[in-house]
Structure 1
Amino acid sequence: MFAVTLALIAATLPAPQGRTLTVGPGAQYATPQAAADAARPGDTVEIAPGTYGNGLTVKRGGITFRGNGNVTIKPKLTINANDLTFENLTFQGSDRFGAYADGRSNLTFRNFGVSGSQDGGLVLLNTSNVLIDGCEIKGTNARGTKADHEAMTIADGSRDVDVKNCHVHDNGEEGIDVKYTENARVKIHDNIVRNNRGPNIYVDSATHVEVYNNISSGTKNETKSGIALAVEDWSDTRLLDNVKVYNNISYGNAQAGLSIWVQSSGTVSNVQIINNTFYGNKKGSISFDGDEYAGANILRNNIFERQTGHEAFKADHNFVGEPGPRTIDAGSAEDAPAFDIEGNPRPRGKAHDIGAHER
């Protein structure tokens, strides 16, 4: 009876609060790694402004790592646990990846940075339930085309990943890359992705991916578009399916605004390209390379710089030329997004506008 009473009392008590472990000059710990080694689930590691060496390897889950100001950790982050949050931290100068997780879950990266890594920047493999909000990734893939993975890689079974409000720029390979995952349920939105070797945003042999409300510009290699959908030979499934690309602006890229291609064999199916604006791209709005299409593919409500189409795509309500009065209320509501690139509801007038903006 006494043991049962104690159990009932314990059940009514509030859960114990985690500790706060401080890092910095005069703090409890001199380095983030020392604090990580001492932290337990529920703890928060607060890091004072400054630059810290020895990197950070996290082996225990349920911990929040938070920078209080400008915090740089050299050279890299290695994630070997689940249920982790990283806020206001930048990792710099890795000779491999800037931040790496394989087979993990429930990760949050907020106001998170990677710069100057030799290979990929933020690399997630077989990792699920991830929020990436407000990151900056720059100067990665310093090895160039020999680099392993991309500025941001979401690959090999990574699912349920939300990438938003990020600035991914001036990297030596692709910007944001989703690849080799069926039923990925990945959303890439409200990002600025620019001046990468390219493509800036890449979906390769993945299914169930949404790319929307992004600005993509300035790819540097003449074969790389602003946004690309592809099936490469590295894929086991050789399938890209159920991909939606809408409310994006893609301009000033070295190849097309958007490209679709199959390396040697594979299938592209059920692709919707709706309410995007393309202009100033050296090889036009959309480049189609490969004829292995299936399903219902759509081109609708887009602004093109020149006439664009393909027999595998149903094309309607597109406009060729500069945005202007003729694009207002001239679109179709069928399969159109409920909002525009700025989050304004569609339609605002008599009908949906053509292009990324609803005026």
Structure 2
Amino acid sequence: MTKWHIAHLACIAAVIGVGLGAAPSAVAHERTHVVFPGESIQKTVDAARPGDTVLLASGTFHESVTVSTPGLTLRGMGRGTVIRPAAKKAADSCAKSGNGICVVGKKGRHVKGVSVAGLTVTGFAGSGVFAESTDGLTVRHVTAVKNGVWGIAQERSVRGVFRQNTARHNGDAGLFLANTIKAEEGAADTKGTVVAHNLLEGNRIGVTVRRLRNLTVADNLVTGNCAGVFVVGDENKPRAGALTVSDNRIERNNKSCPKTARLDALQGTGIVLTGTEDTLVTRNLIRENTGNSPLSGGIVVWKSFVGTTSERNRITGNVLEGNGPADLVNTDTAGKGNTFQGNACRASKPAGLC
């Protein structure tokens, strides 16, 4: 064993000691497996048992990793633990899809209680972290940077927790949550998923919530993207909505992104609600989001791109400053029951919403 390994083992032992010092004897059988750069994360994950921790030392690992063991923790030593694509793409589905870390269960049988924490995932053609069919997935202190599609993404999942992550300069959304992108389905109940205290910067969209219900997006810093927060629904039932966007700081999302097959060009957008119902947008600070996109503005209520109206959404108690063309924009005049109350702002389209 080299001096480098001995030093890292000493550091890792300290981390394990802090993490396990207060652990009750009932979980004493759970093991921590240490992986060093040059060793296979996937082999260690495959050998681990439910409840175990796979601890990655500092350094760079070149591979994609699939986790399907319930209760497993995949944890690095901080941003200095880096996962990048392998020089030669492996045959597993995670690598084939261009993703870095995949946490996957099966349709109708979710993998439960997995945690991913304390590492950087970068340079993947797809997503840094991609999860599907999970229950209680926790992603914390993960830095997802310069991935081709999403920084951190989850589909067909419930009770997820996404806290204190950084998603920068990813091709689409920094954080993407959806029922599924593979089929036309009604909005799914996430049973209380939480997106909180994340930094989302320089992506196409900071956070996208698509065809979901019952979740919270709160206390995030969203800046330098083409658009800050998108909450998206359509004609499928149940409708998207019944969720909360609160206490976020959303400012200067003025990067310019071209039109795509699904979406107009984006620039200068704070929060968009489109095709949603019963959504509460409250206590957000939304500043200096300006642009020439049809979706530009501080908070924008927009008729769904397939013609579905937004209904019974409440926009209340927000502070909006210097957004253009206006702080509050409502283009969905056919939508019923949308209310704008108690917001501190100067300009709206149509007039009278401030």
TM-score (norm 2): 0.74
Asked whether the equivalents of residues 130 and 162 of structure 1 are also in contact (C-alpha less than 8 Å), the reply is yes
Shift in alpha-carbon separation, 1:30–1:165, aligned structure 2, 3 A: same
State the one-letter code of the partner of 1:129: R
Match of 1:166 among 180, 184, 198: 198
Deviation at 1:304, TM superposition (A): 0.7
Match of 1:327 in 2: none
Which whole-Å CA distance do the structure 2 matches of 1:165 and 1:253 have between them?
20
State the one-letter code of the partner of 2:217: I
Which whole-Å CA distance do the structure 2 matches of 1:79 and 1:14 have between them?
26
Per-residue CA shift, 1:132-181, capped at 9, x if unaligned? 0101001111xxxxx6xx2211111361210001000001x211011112
Which whole-Å CA distance do the structure 1 matches of 2:219 and 2:279 have between them?
17
Match of 1:197 in 2: 226
Asked whether the equivalents of residues 328 and 347 of structure 2 are also in contact (C-alpha less than 8 Å), the reply is no
Match of 2:176 among 148, 153, 162: 153
Match of 2:271 in 1: 227
Gaps of 5+ in 1: 1-12, 142-146, 232-239, 319-359
Asked whether the equivalents of residues 273 and 301 of structure 2 are also in contact (C-alpha less than 8 Å), the reply is yes
Deviation at 1:298, TM superposition (A): 2.3
The DSSP-based 3-state class of the residue aligned with 2:124 is: coil
| 1:247 corresponds to 2:283 | yes
Supply the RMSD in Å over aligned alpha carbons: 2.0
Gaps of 5+ in 2: 1-24, 86-99, 106-110, 180-187, 234-239, 257-265, 291-295
The DSSP-based 3-state class of the residue aligned with 1:294 is: coil
The DSSP-based 3-state class of the residue aligned with 1:154 is: strand
Larger radius of gyration, structure 1 or 2? 1
Match of 1:19 in 2: 31
Match of 2:310 in 1: 268
Per-residue CA shift, 1:104-134, capped at 9, x if unaligned? 2110011112111111221111111100010
Deviation at 1:55, TM superposition (A): 2.1
| 1:305 corresponds to 2:307 | no
Deviation at 1:307, TM superposition (A): 5.2
Deviation at 1:94, TM superposition (A): 0.4
Deviation at 1:264, TM superposition (A): 4.5
Number of equivalences: 278
Asked whether the equivalents of residues 328 and 348 of structure 2 are also in contact (C-alpha less than 8 Å), the reply is no
The DSSP-based 3-state class of the residue aligned with 2:193 is: strand
Deviation at 1:14, TM superposition (A): 4.2
Which whole-Å CA distance do the structure 1 matches of 2:282 and 2:205 have between them?
20
Asked whether the equivalents of residues 151 and 175 of structure 1 are also in contact (C-alpha less than 8 Å), the reply is yes
Asked whether the equivalents of residues 193 and 217 of structure 1 are also in contact (C-alpha less than 8 Å), the reply is yes
| 1:285 corresponds to 2:319 | no
The DSSP-based 3-state class of the residue aligned with 1:257 is: strand
Match of 1:121 in 2: 151
Shift in alpha-carbon separation, 1:22–1:223, aligned structure 2, 3 A: closer
The DSSP-based 3-state class of the residue aligned with 2:154 is: strand
Q: Map 1:181-192 to 2 at 5 A.
A: 181=212, 184-192=213-221
